[in-house]
Amino acid sequence: MPISLLLSAPLPCPPPPLLRHGTRRVPAPLRSSLPLPPLRLALAAARGGGGGRLPVETRRVRAAAAVRVSGGGGDGETESGAGTGITAAAAATVALAVMNRVLYKLALVPMKNYPFFLAQVLTFGYVAVYFTILFVRYQAGIVTREMLALPKSRFMLIGLLEAMGVASGMAAAAMLPGPSIPVLSQSFLVWQLILSVIVLGRKYRANQILGCLLVTTGVILSVVSGANGGSSLSDVKFFWPAVLMASSACQAGASIIKEFVFIDGAKRLEGKRPDIFVVNSFGSGFQALFVLLLLPFLSNLKGIPLTELPAYVKSGAACFLNAGGNLNDCPGAPLLPLLFITMNLAFNISVLNLVKMSTALVASLTATLAVPLSIYVLSLPLPYMPGGTSLSTSFLVGAAVLVLGLLLYGLPQNSADQMKTE
């Protein structure tokens, strides 16, 4: 099915009811825009103050206003409160992103021979975790039946894009120099910028576009500061770098579709945005399904024939649990892998919550700030990673350019209500 059809499922719109003499009632939005006579205005105010049931058109107007407020619009105390909430969510996302990157490096100390196993634990384990949380929130009344009834085609598209991003990214990574991979992956922000314009109809000012480009440049400078001389792409054909950038496009597309689900869901739910665990659960469920279908291809990319996959999973589980083998082979397990999984779960929830509150691009820019911070933390002596390293001038310049890009993107401070269009 074409993507345009998946994203354009019509909202239910019943025809206006007939009156007794066969004339049609004036639509609610039009009636709400007409001035009320003084007597009717007074009666409406009296009913509103008396706690009675609001007329249908009044509820619809309030729901529409709620959608606008939740999308970043509004003024006065509402705008100030929303800005404070987004700032707090962004700060939490940065902190979790740094800890997530650091713990991933630490988790690879015991799991250095089983990174593919660790990735599959994340993919399939999160489905059980997310749906368990979703069930608890449904029982508590936080998640409603209407939220669960949202079109599943969008979640299927999210899962497909994320699975394709994983598969194409692994295929390209096997053919590219290691240090070039995080550099080429920075095309993610550029893809998000382009896709948000195409899918969401968003418009960006010159300072926002320049800010994104500066952030990308800053990350590249920070990453290549620790690269060795063998990181050149001169000996690599253009095909594999293009595949890796296409992988970033798939991941960026999935994030933009998630933002679309929140915006469209608010219209369907009369101003209330879908719970983040509805998006996380169904998106992760479809991703796991497509990854399962691609598992023979993915395991071969990692040099694990399908016939040897069961033995690999068994030995990976023994290392993860640090049981059934030589305990010196997997130092730090199971503590370090479990800490990483817990932190990665919290980070993913935090990022999606920030997408719900602001935009997918803002969430990505916020998480990108963690790149130089995590590089700095990893340069320090850490448990299981003693010694540390010194940071080059290129890293400091890259970090400064990245922060400058973030500041440039955020000017002026009230840009959120211009970006967030419904």
Q: Is the peptide bond before 334 cis (omega within 30 degrees of 0)?
A: yes
Give the model's pLDDT for residue 389: 75
Radius of gyration of the chain (CA): 25
Q: Which residue has the higher pLDDT, 273 or 47?
A: 273
**Highest mean pLDDT of the ranges 34-48, 76-90, 161-175, 383-397:** 161-175
Residue 277 in any domain: the answer is yes
pTM score, two decimals? 0.76
Residue 29 in any domain: the answer is no
Q: What is the pLDDT of residues 68-105, one digit of tens each?
A: 434 443 334 445 667 788 999 999 999 999 999 999 99
Q: What is the pLDDT of residues 255-293, one digit of tens each?
A: 999 999 999 999 999 889 999 999 999 999 999 999 999
Burial classification of residue 208, based on how many CB atoms lie within 10 Å of its CB (0-12 exposed, 13-18 middle, 19 or more buried): buried
The chain-wide mean pLDDT, for the chain, equals 79
| Residues 6 or more apart in contact with residue 230 via CB below 8 angstroms | 177, 179
Give the model's pLDDT for residue 326: 55
CB half-sphere exposure, 305, CA atoms < 13 A: 2
Give the domain range for residue 264.
54-419
Residue 38 in any domain: the answer is no
Give the model's pLDDT for residue 78: 47
- Domain count of the fold of the chain: 1
Residue 239 in any domain: the answer is yes
Residue 97 in any domain: the answer is yes
Residue 16 in any domain: the answer is no
DSSP 382: B
pLDDT band for 353, please (50, 70, 90 cuts): very high
State what percent of residues in the chain have pLDDT above 90.
48
Whose CA is closest to 159, among 296, 261, 300?
A: 261
Residue 208 in any domain: the answer is yes
Whose CA is closest to 279, among 145, 66, 119, 131?
A: 131
Residue 30 in any domain: the answer is no
Query: Got the DSSP string for 61-116?
Result: HHHHHHHHHHTT---HHHHHHHHHHHHHHHHHHHHHHHHHHHHHHHHTTTTTT-HH
Q: Three-state SS for 50?
A: coil
What the block records as the tokens of 63 is 């729901």
